[in-house]
Amino acid sequence: MNISYSPIGYFKSPYTEIKGMPIQPIGAEDKGFSHVYVLYHLHQIEGYDLMIKPFLDTKRHGVFATRSPKRPNPIGLSVMRLIRVSGVHVFLKGIDVLDQTPVIDIKPYVADFDQCNADRFGWFEGKSRNATYHRSDERFAN
C-alpha cells in the first residue's frame, strides 16, 4: 500500500536550520478557535532509527515513545495558538518547525474532545518543563 498527501500550504518560519530550533511549541512564543492541531511533513529529515536518544533524556528509547522527528513516517504534530485567519493565510503562534515545512492538515483543538486526564507520562515525567528552554541540536540533522 502506498499513501500520498499533497501539502495544503507551507510554513513561513524564522527557523532556517534544525540546530537551535525549539523542540516543542511551548518553546516558541483571534478569531474562532484559540488553538489548532497542525500536521506537517518533516521535509528535512532522512531515514530513521527505532531506538534514539531524545532531546530531553540521556537514555535511548523506542522512537514511538518519543517525539523524535526521525521517524519511519516523518510526520509532525503540534498544537499551536491560532492568531487569525486572513483569506488563505493562517497566522499561528508557537511555531517549532523549519521555514517552508509542508503543512498536511489543520484541525481545531476542542478541549471537550481532545483533553484527557492522563496519569502516566513514561520517561517524560519531570522533563517536559525543559522543552521551554531546550533547543534542537545536530542529532537529527542529515
pLDDT per position in the chain (142 positions), as tens? 998 999 999 999 877 877 776 665 554 444 677 899 999 999 998 999 999 988 778 899 999 998 888 999 999 999 999 998 888 899 999 888 999 999 999 999 988 888 888 777 777 676 665 566 667 767 667 6
Give the helix/strand (H/E) hosting 85: strand 75-86
Does 2 fall in a domain? no
Does 81 fall in a domain? yes
What domain range includes position 15? 9-136
pTM over 0.85: no
Side chain identity at residue 32, one-letter code? G
Domain count of the fold of the chain: 1
